[in-house]
Structure 1
Amino acid sequence: MNNQLSKISTQYRKFSKGQYIEEKQFNEFLDFFEDQDRLSRVMLQGVGIVCGLRPEPVYKDRFLNGIQLSQGVALTTDGDLLTLSNTGEVSKELYVSDLRTIGIQSKNYTHFKIYDNFKVKYPAFYDADNKQIELWELATAQEANSDFQPINKLSGIENKYLLLYLEDYEKEVKPCRGVDCDNHGIQQIRNLKVLVTTKEGIARILEKDKIQPHPLFITDMMTGLKQERVIIERLILERGIDADFSSLDLKNLYSGILVKNNYGENIFKKINAISEVFGISGVDHQGFKQKLITGLAQTGGFQYAYDVVKDLTDTYSEIIKLLPGSFAGCLPDLLSFPKHVMLGKVASDFQLDSSRHQFYHSPVLDDKKTTSKVKVLMNRFKQQAQNFRYSDSFEASAVVKITPSQKTNPLGNKAIPFYYNVTTEFLKAWSFDKTANRLSGYNLGYDQGLLSTDNHVQKPLDFNIDKNSFYNIEGHQGMNHQEAFDQITQIRNQRQLGFDVMLLSFTELKNNKDLYRAYFNEYVDKHPGLEHTRGVERGGTFVMVYEQNGRSTNVIADFSLPYQCCTPKVEVKLSLPKTTVCSDSGLLPFTVFPANGEVKASVDAGLNGGVKQNNGNYVFDPSSVSEALYNTDISFTVNGKTSDCSIKVIPQPKVNISVSSVDYPTNGSSATTVHFTVSGTGFAGYEYNWDFWDDGGFIPLKPDGNGMLTYTLYNLNPKQIPMIKVKVSNKECVQTIALRDWYKGPVEEENRVPVAIANASYTNIQLPTNSVELKGSSSYDSDGTIVSYVWKQIGTTPAIASIGNPNTADTAVTGLVEGTYTFQLTVKDNKGATASNEVMVTVNKAAERNPSLTEIGNSTTGSGSGGSRTQTFKVGQNVSAGNKFQAGVYSVVLTVTATASDTPDTVASKLRDLINNTTREQWNAAGTAPTGASGFPPKASSSGDTLVISLNYQNQFFGSASVS
């Protein structure tokens, strides 16, 4: 036999230019690449029948006339690719093989002859005594020669088995003679034969085949197993509705089914048969059976014994569903069928024929990981059997849990039940998909000790459960029925789960007003669809059965209905004035419908949900709510019905703030730095607003991670230390803290205000004097020094004066005009205190003195009783800017009364006096002749002006008189 992969070439030598090549080197080259090609097929693709090669008996006149074999492809464990072919072109060379074609649909084999494998001695065809099994070679009518007989002469061929065999050997050619030996060498013979053998012969071949054995070929392996249902209604049907029932009657229903199938013995036998084929250890049924017997002997838990067998049945169903696709194998045995493939029985009624090779593909092509899944499921079966647990003491210590799960298989998608002891190995075997992705800790289950600590695993009901159609309800069996009911309904209401809960009593109930409680017999009679499912599907009813046992009334079984029944659908309404409230807020009244409805908070046992009654009315008391419920929505029920009312209690901040130290001003600094310490639970999560000056101006500042905060105040008056206020809030609740008496530094004496003394060198002057000296140097400060002086004029009238240097103690002011001026002096001491004082200066107009007049001309007209006299004067001395003459000609009628004793000189003197005593206004009023006039004469603009006075007089005037 020429098995190519029995000795694998692992290297070769490259050829060099001009090299003489010996046959060993050239054959080494060919062997290397041929071995790699064969290995690639076997290891990376697979072995066995890929497709086709199906035999079909052909009958003519009810007699076998031939065997039609369809075209196909097969691969041996030696890497030979086998397919049917016909001769396409006959070789014209002596030692060159014919060319063949594979473009055919099938071949009809009509002749046979006895086959002798003496040329090859293929091991699979020989028994322990080295005797060849019975073999016949088939040929088509075109291929048959005189050695072949018609196939209808082969007796019992329908019960014989077909083989496709590659006759592979080397043929030594005689040594060449002559010059040309190029066409000579060792000829590699490869003849594809279709052989027939007997049942004994195929059995001998299978003995040496380590690949073909597969669980699929085990008798009845693919026959599914179903666990018998427990139908509760049979109790009523067999014994009547008035019969008395107990937990023993229910237990007998379940234990009877388990005993009937010997506690799942058939499943274990099939699993162990599969384990043997796969080369893995079996599962101990006897130990498992003893666990069930022990569990059934206890008061409760008999339903879980039934459940675990059902789980094992489900696992087995998953396994056999995957078996047909589990023909993957790593490193196939190279000696199993190196030069043949089995095609099966000539006339077979089985789709899966153990005498026909399947295609055993490489794991690299097993994208669905079917074989790996089967092995994981086998391990899960083992883990389930080994880790089942149940005892009354275990149930007694359990707590009620509701876990979202799935209603339908596969089992690996469901939550892990309560009755399994969850180990690391168990978790890895529960769900292949999760384990393959390293997520075995993300299964859901009752026992969460080894599961992920992520919230969606530890508290799955707090997250989206849209994809979960079922709820596992566990931990209640053996518990007081009312306590179990309260806990389940509390979780249901708190998590707003869609199912009803009912309690059934074996004892007939009298005067029962509870809508959630019923008599077992009546309820089963009305609802025969009760079935134990270890929970309830969404929209269903979870039913617990309890039994009086001495003083206790404990739950002994549970069932479910696929619909909600039968609490009445009474509308309830509930509301609160707020949806968020601080923990220290006052009572909030509930608005309840119906008015007499009972309000309860949907919170875990042992927690206070804040519901109380006040004067017969339900109120919500935030201050009584358990701290564990802070920052969570607390929901409520009315008469056991879920309402849409909820409220969130925000904890009131409880922060301590103190002044740890103060840095007081030094070296002339005005800065006071205050160091604060903030403490209290959760202080870092709050918001802080500070009013450091007690003026209502709050600024946001947060302490650091250690609760430290520093703030600096400038120009702080030690005599007026402000109270520091802090508002601490969590966006809903505010804590106000006031810090008093925090300043312990030195207090300075109060600064006394300086004294400002404003004075002037003259306070009353007369033009033409128009300046004075303002004096402030007499100002003083009794407890310090004056550091600045500021002079300013108050007002703008009579005119703005010019202050020489307003920032000195004494300064000159000029440009004064007639009127009264007020000047203010402001002084400031070395501590910033100021004081002001004012001084008034009065400026009088210039004194008016008669100017000197020099007569430069005169003329007199008329005589006797009257006439006129014109005198022209030249203005001389005593002309000032404030009292100037105005040039012009003035006429006035003067009446001088002369007496008999007057002489011209006395009259002239009177005239002069009269002129001098006539006012400017009187001079300007032409035609008037006032008497007794007084005042100054008219003015001229400046010295040297000419003043002409025209006088009309009525008395006798003597021309010799003169006026000067």
Structure 2
Amino acid sequence: MVTLKLNEITTQYRSFVADQVLTAKQLNTIIDYFEDQNRLTRVCLSGVGIVHGLDIQTDGEKTVVVSQGCGVTTDGDLIKYEGATFTRFKLFEDTEAGYSKFEDIGNILELYPEKEGKDAKAAELSKLSNLSEKVVVLYLENYEKEETPCTSTDCDTQGKEQIAKIRILLFNKVDVDLMTASDDVFSDNDTMETYLNLPQVAVKRAILSPTNTRTHLELMGNFVKAINNEPSPLSKLRIGISSLYKDFNGLLDIKDAIGKFKKINDQLNIIYTFSGKEFPLDIQYRYDLLKDLADTYEEIKRLLFDLRISACPTEESFPKHLLLGELDKDPETLYYQYRHSFYPSPIIPHSDERIKEIRCLIERIYLMVHEYDVENEDQIKITPSKIAMNPVSNRAIPYYYETTRQLIKKWSYDKYIKQEAGRNLGYQSQELSAADEIQNPLDYCLNKNDFFRIEGHLGKDYATALRTIDAIKKQKGLAFDVKVLSVDETMDDINIEDYKCHFEDLNTILLAFLKEQECLYHEIASFFSGFSIAEPGRNNYYNHVKELSKVKESATSGNTGEIFVSGTRVTDPAIGTIKGITAAKGGVNFSGVTNFRTITAVEDGLHTNEDDLGFIIKDVFTKNSDREACAITTKIEDRIKEIEVINNASAEIKAIAITHPYEILSFTRATSKLIPTEIADINKTRLDNFGLAVKELCKRTDTYQRALNTVLYKPEATYQRRGFESRVELLLNQLHVNCCAAEKIKVLMDDIEKRKGEILIQKTLSKFIEQHPGLEHTAGVQPGGTFVMVYLGKTRDITVGRPTGLSVEAVPIREEQILARVEAPTTSRTSATSRTSRVIKESTGIISATRVTAATTRNPVLGLELLQPERGILGEGLFTGPTSFKFSENTVIGDFSLPYLCCSDCVPINFMVPAQRVSLRLPEAFVCFKEEMPPLLFEVIPNDGIVEAVTENGLNGGVRLNEDDRFVFDPSLVSEELYGKEISFTVNGQFTDAKIVVFKKPEFDFLSSEPRYSRDGKIAVVNFTTQGDELPEGVTYLWDFGDNTIPTNRNDENPRHEYFLPVNATNTVTVFLTVSNGRCSETIDHNIELIAEPQPVNCEEQVKINLKDGQTVLQSIEKLSSKLKEAVLDPTLQQYGEITKNPDPFISGQRNNEFTNRFMPILDVTVEHIKKRMQDPEDKDFPILTTIYRLQVQLIYNILACQTKGNLKEVQAVLDFIERNLQEFRKDPENLDIDPDKKLHAFLKALSEKKDINPALKDRIIKLISILEAKK
């Protein structure tokens, strides 16, 4: 019967001596030993399976060819086969070897070459009907042939013959399946078919076009489609990851594979499940996460290809056979289903490393999914990285991962195995290396980096984000451009102040028009206010202005006041040259021009002597400045009625020289207040109001003219001319001509609307894409490229028609519709019936996205038909229900990049970055408040802006005016309820980016106990106690005990400290305590005098004191994991407790025979845990373990300190163990210091100076001291 050689491995044999009689057993043992070692070398150090050749071919009918080759079985048999062509077959019966793998398998056929087959009377293969369905197996028939027993004439036996014969067999596939069921090596590595069935995961691009980027819903919908539309990369990725965890686990041996995949699948459901009504703000980063996962998955696939490994294979897998393959393999297929490949040992290069790297990448997939977390970070960062064609491992860690230590370790396998994981780059750099080139990578050479990740801007105001990125770019000298574009913006949102370069010429025309109006209104006021109230019918100033009556007669013949440009001066036929307005290259120079907010020409032109009508008018204007013209007219009329001389005047005189003049002046003043004085002030409401005012003024002008004509030109009139009548006629004619003033402003408004439409087209994302196709979201930009941020415009609700409940929100307006709007006749527009409040809310991370599904509707505000919404951005019926956007206007909602620099058509800062209307800055982000702290000066734009703190419930936010009437932040005024909370501010009611937090500095002190000295006066123990009024939770403590030590308890609230005297020449130390609340810290110090006189004490008493002190230190240890407490601390405390309870037998040496059993276990466990942590400076348990280890060593040497005689044989093993491990601790320079506070060194030094110490023990101590003092 076949015997597996490696079932029982011979591990020893005897060597021979002279004249020894050898037995068969001794000789066989030697053979077995070396044969087993030879077999183990092949199996464990090289590998098993087919090494080379043994390929099979068949014509399907008559022949089977097996080529030359070799292989190794799992029993260590090295098989070399010369190859043969087989034409015959015969039923095979394994009667000799009885190979267990063939049990219960019938109809096994053996192949024969032609000659041997004939001799064996084997049948021709052509008679085998199902040859192509068979599997070829190479079988090593291995068994012992029984020796021939002795006869009466011959007893020349040669021992048992070892038969090893190669046979080529044919099996049915079902029988091979039965054999491989117990073949662990084949089953674990039989992954080729599974590998070929792994899905290809290709993530679609979010391809942007002018038609799918008009609104933020369409824009974000592109990424949702790339994630979800069939063929869905997300679905394929789930299948692929599932296969990695389940089908390849036999090969990869992933811990908790099923549980981890379930967690991954659950988390993917959370990340990628959102309805058509809700798009997350971070949809681009979720898309990036999908690409990261897909890239990592493809990286794993590349490493998995043809990966096979066998570490210590079980000998029962294929101990005496090799599968050569099935005969019906498709010629187009490269791989067999039933064939043993070569399964190398882990010692063979690359196989084991590939396994480890794959495990690392699979763990990274798990960590990436679980650490995906997009938070509203305060800081905007630019991090050097590599372009996406590089493996994820070589890129910087994106900011949308939490970036824990676990992810950092698994991010790059190459860095991990080199212990350089902390040298990855990433946004979250807290857990990365503290090296400056990692924390500030932009300060160092960027030759190895060809990409900049730009992160932290999502959800921020785009102007703030742009300024920050631009500042970093300039500060660090980075070669890329930055642009901002909008979506969902409407023409009503274009603020002319933000785009002055587009309206400078119109502003010049408006200023000329204003000067004309000012001149006219001043003349009206100056003349009509000069009528006398003491002598009705007389104008007190007519003679002074008589010459001015010769003003351009053309005004009476229909002068329209047209404005034109002559040369380089802006002129008006009616008013001549306007001083101070000159044309300049590239624009208009406004130097010397007053930018009027309101026209005061009427008030300025009034005559106000007591005899003047203007005296009463001025007084009424002043006292009723907020009243309308009709009410002011009534007030003036009431005052006039009180004047007797006017009451007695004729009706004609009263009407011509009193009543009509003050009516004209009242309505002229009202009209002047409504004239738009800046281009930015021109809007429909302002224009309508101005038009109504002009209309009312013109009515009064017509009435005045009719009354004057009646008294001057009717035959029956008895009115006697006073001389001023022609002047009145001239001024009334000019007012009549000016009745078209509102139409002039309408012309300007039409041009403004047209230009605003052009600006809207140019600043929107969809229009930009027309000029610059190929925008891609890369979460950054290449050097020499353009980084484009997209922000949300100022969308509004518009209610259309009767209140049917249907609303349209941010319906996109195409270019042709904008042009239609601005080119449509002004008179054809209708006013809005109603307008709801804005639907922009504070950013909460979700956009609710629904479109109306009604037919086209006319918008009464725009005067054009709204677009009929598509049936769905992502698919039919996907968007239903009400819509609400939950992002504040100007919020950055995405970013893209171009691989080249591009620029705008206007001055970039004006065109791309609207000037901030208000701005507020503070020199500090937080303050640590203490008494008599000076206030912080606000930097306010505009200079006259009103600064207010945003607080609740009447709390004081600390804003006040200083002696120079400038706003300052005074921390002493801040209500205590606001301590530790962020305080924000407004300027003129508008929110700003300025924020500050006030922290109260900790108020505390500490006390120190009287020093307690050791008997020999060399150690002083002091207890410290912190005192503070209501110190908040979470404060941290840092002690400096003044003796240049770094003890493990330096962060305790109330520590205990040992001083080894003398500490310095005066034995006086200054102890510092720093208390911090995370932002603010305060330090106080006290001097402590340490003076001790040695007290006589015998050795035994001092040891007992030392043992008690050590026990006290151990009992004070709290911050230790429960596992280490149970394994290390508790056993050490137990030894201290037993020995201090009855110390004399130990100190005298009576129980030295217990040293090995008593101390070796706890020393061994402690050393083991210390070694695990020797190179991890972040491990919090390591310093505590070093303290416990020191106290263990001190316990042992304290016990031996008083044993002045005798040898140390009974304790030698323990002392050797201490010395050996101390040397090992100090050997590697990468190891942490085993004696960080130098207390072990001080203890040994003091003990070595003891006069009556055992010389052998002293030698040991000096050796330990030299180990501690030696350089690593």
Question: Which of the five TM-score ranges fits, normalised by the shorter chain?
Answer: 0.5 to 0.7
1:65 paired to 2:67? no
1:290 is the counterpart of 2:273? no
Which letter does structure 2 place at the counterpart of 1:557?
Answer: G
Q: Structure 1 residue 82 and structure 2 residue 79: aligned? A: yes
Give the drift of 1:275. Answer: 4.5
> Would you say the 8 A contact 1:415–1:444 is kept in 2?
yes
Inter-CA distance 327–556: structure 2 relative to 1 (3 Å threshold):
same
CA distance in 1, matches of 2:46, 2:907: 67
Q: Which residue of 2 aligns with 1:121?
A: 98
Give per-residue Cα distances to partners, 1:511-562, cap 9 Å, x unaligned.
7569998321111222331111121222222111110346631111111222
Q: Which moved more, 1:24-33 or 1:423-432?
A: 423-432
The 2-side partners of 1:547 and 1:539 are apart by 27
Deviation at 1:133, TM superposition (A): 4.4
Where 1:449 maps in the other structure, the secondary structure is coil
Match of 1:436 in 2: 417
Q: 1:569 to 1:318 in 2, by over 3 A?
A: farther
Q: Distance in 1 between matches of 2:145 and 2:486?
A: 90
1:276 matches 2:255? no
Q: Unaligned regions of 5+ residues in structure 2, if any?
A: 503-758, 794-839, 842-887, 909-922, 927-1272
Change (3 A) 1:259 1:16: same
Task: Pick one of 180, 189, 197 that aligns with 1:206.
Answer: 180
Q: Which moved more, 1:479-488 or 1:328-337?
A: 328-337
Measured after TM superposition, the shift of residue 442 of structure 1 is: 1.1
Q: 2: CA distance between counterparts of 1:435 and 1:182? A: 67
1:384-430 deviation digits (Å, cap 9, x = unpaired): 2222223xxx1254533333334323111111111112222222211
CA drift at 1:376: 1.5
Do the aligned partners of 1:403 and 1:473 also contact (CA within 8 Å) in 2? no
Q: If each structure's strand is expressed as a fraction of its own residues, which one has the higher value?
A: 1
Over 3 Å counting, the alpha-carbon distance change for 1:122 and 1:508 in structure 2 is: farther
Deviation, structure 1 residue 606: 8.6
Q: Secondary structure at the match of 2:399?
A: coil
Shift of the 75–569 alpha-carbon distance from structure 1 to 2, 3 Å rule, reads farther
Report how far residue 222 of structure 1 moved: 5.6
Over 3 Å counting, the alpha-carbon distance change for 1:381 and 1:353 in structure 2 is farther
Establish whether residue 558 from structure 1 lines up as the match of residue 531 from structure 2: no
For the structure 1 residues 467 and 569, does the alpha-carbon distance in structure 2 shift closer, same or farther, using more than 3 Å as the test? farther
**Pairing 1:744-755 to 2, within 5 Å after superposition:** none
- 8 Å contact from structure 1 (residues 216, 323) kept in 2: no
Q: 1:2 to 1:267 in 2, by over 3 A?
A: same
* 8 A contact 1:271–1:316 mirrored in 2: no
CA drift at 1:30 = 0.3
Q: Is this contact kept in 2: 1:232–1:528, CA < 8 A?
A: no
Aligned equivalent of 1:110, options 77, 81, 87:
87
Letter in 1 for 2:779: R
Larger deviation, residues 41-50 vs 142-151: 142-151
Code of the residue aligned with 1:523 in structure 2: it is F
Tell whether 2:207 aligns with 1:227: no
Number of aligned residues: 542
Secondary structure of the residue aligned to 1:3 is: coil
Preserved contact between residue 380 and residue 468 of structure 2 (Cα < 8 Å): no
Match of 1:519 among 764, 789, 792: 764
Asked if 1:247 corresponds to 2:216, the answer is yes
Q: RCO greater where, 1 or 2, for CA within 8 Å and sep 6 or more? A: 2
Closer, same or farther in 2 for the Cα pair 1:67/1:569, shift >3 Å? Answer: farther
Aligned to 1:491: 472
Match of 1:338 among 298, 319, 335: 319
TM-score, normalised relative to structure 2: 0.40
Is the 8 Å Cα contact of residues 150 and 157 (structure 2) preserved in structure 1? no
Question: Take 1:565 and 1:118, find their aligned partners in 2: how far apart are those partners?
Answer: 85
Are 2:416 and 1:447 equivalent residues in the alignment? no
* CA deviation after TM superposition for structure 1 residue 181, in Å: 4.4
* Cα distance in 2 between the residues matched to 1:325 and 1:375: 16
How far has the Cα of 1:458 moved from its partner?
A: 1.0
Query: Counterpart of 2:23?
Result: 22
Q: Which residue of 2 aligns with 1:786?
A: none
Please list the CA deviations of residues 423-452 of structure 1 after superposition, one character each: whole Å capped at 9, or x if unmatched. Answer: 222222111111111111111111112111
Aligned counterparts of 1:504 and 1:351: Cα–Cα separation in 2: 53
How far the C-alpha of 1:232 sits from its partner, in A, is 3.3
- Residues 324 and 338 in structure 2, CA contact (< 8 A), matched pair in contact too: yes
> What residue number does 1:683 align with?
none
Equivalent residue for 1:903? Answer: none
State how far apart, in whole Å, the 2-side matches of 1:453 and 1:140 are.
73
Q: Pick closer, same or farther for the CA change 1:136–1:546 going to 2, 3 Å.
A: same
Deviations along 1:131-172, one digit per CA (max 9) or x if unpaired, are 124421112223323331222222222222111111111111
- The match for 1:384 is 368
Instruction: Classify the secondary structure of the residue corresponding to 1:49.
Output: strand
Q: Report if aligned partners of 1:72, 1:83 keep a CA contact under 8 Å in 2.
A: yes
1:860-888 deviation digits (Å, cap 9, x = unpaired): xxxxxxxxxxxxxxxxxxxxxxxxxxxxx
Structure 1: distance between partners of 2:150 and 2:904: 104
% same residue: 33
Q: Secondary structure at the match of 1:117?
A: coil
2-side partners of 1:396 and 1:467: how far apart? 28
Tell whether the 8 Å contact from 2:192 to 2:306 is kept in structure 1 after alignment. Answer: no
Q: Cα distance, 1:219 vs. partner?
A: 3.6
Residue in 2 that maps onto 1:256: 225
How big is the shift at 1:190? 0.6
Out of 119, 137, 157, the position equivalent to 1:163 is 137
Match of 1:150 in 2: 124
The answer as to whether partners of 1:295 and 1:305 remain within 8 angstroms in 2 is: no
Among 345, 365, 369, the alignment partner of 1:362 is 345
Q: Which has the higher helix share?
A: 2
| Bigger radius of gyration among the two | 1
Question: Which residue in the other structure is 2:108 paired with?
Answer: 135
- Give 1:250's aligned amino acid: L
Question: Residues of 2 paired with 1:485 and 1:406: CA distance?
Answer: 23
Q: Which amino acid aligns with 1:143?
A: E
State the secondary structure of the residue aligned to 1:208. Answer: coil
Asked whether the equivalents of residues 45 and 365 of structure 1 are also in contact (C-alpha less than 8 Å), the reply is: yes
Q: Could you tell me which residue of structure 1 aligns to residue 1206 of structure 2? A: none
Q: Secondary structure at the match of 2:27?
A: helix
Per-residue CA deviation, residues 614-645 of structure 1 (Å, 9 max, x unaligned), is: xxxxxxxxxxxxxxxxxxxxxxxxxxxxxxxx
Worse-matched range after superposition: 413-422 or 25-34: 413-422
Rate the CA distance shift 1:141–1:294 in 2: closer, same or farther, 3 A. closer
C-alpha distance in 2 between matches for 1:420 and 1:399: 15
Is residue 400–residue 484 contact of structure 1 (8 Å, CA) maintained in 2? no
Offset of 1:67 from its aligned partner?
Answer: 1.4
Equivalent position to 2:192, from 204, 208, 217: 217
1:466 Cα offset (Å): 0.6
Over aligned residue pairs, what C-alpha RMSD do you find? 3.1
Contact 1:504/1:544 (CA < 8 Å) preserved in 2? yes
Correspondences of 1:721-800 after superposition (within 5 Å): none
Distance 2:13 2:111 in 1: 41
Question: 2: distance between equivalents of 1:124 and 1:526?
Answer: 73
AA of the residue aligned to 2:206: I
Q: Which runs of 5+ in 1 are unaligned?
A: 86-105, 572-603, 608-964
Q: 1:300 to 1:475 in 2, by over 3 A?
A: same
Equivalent pair of 1:110/1:138 in contact (CA under 8 Å): yes
CA distance in 2: counterparts of 1:498 and 1:568, whole angstroms: 21
SS in 2 for 1:355: coil
Residue 267 of structure 1 contacts residue 313 of structure 1 at CA under 8 Å; is this kept in 2? no
After superposition, what is the alpha-carbon deviation per residue over 1:684-723, rounded to whole angstroms, capped at 9, x for unaligned?
xxxxxxxxxxxxxxxxxxxxxxxxxxxxxxxxxxxxxxxx
Say if 2:208 and 2:222, in contact at 8 Å, map to a contact too: no
- 1:510-909 residue pairs with structure 2 within 5 A? 518-548=763-793, 549=840, 552-566=889-903
CA contact (8 A) 1:232 1:524 kept: no
| Aligned residue in 1 for 2:304 | 323
Distance 1:396 1:466, change over 3 A: closer
The residue type equivalent to 2:62 in the other structure is: N
Shift in Å at residue 224 of structure 1? 5.2
Maintained 8 Å contact 2:136/2:168: yes
CA distance in 1, matches of 2:162, 2:450: 66
1:302 matched to 2:283? The reply is yes
Counterpart residue number, 1:916: none
Looking at structure 2, the residues matched to 147 and 428 of structure 1 have their Cα atoms a distance apart, in angstroms, of 67
- Structure 1 SS opposite 2:452: strand
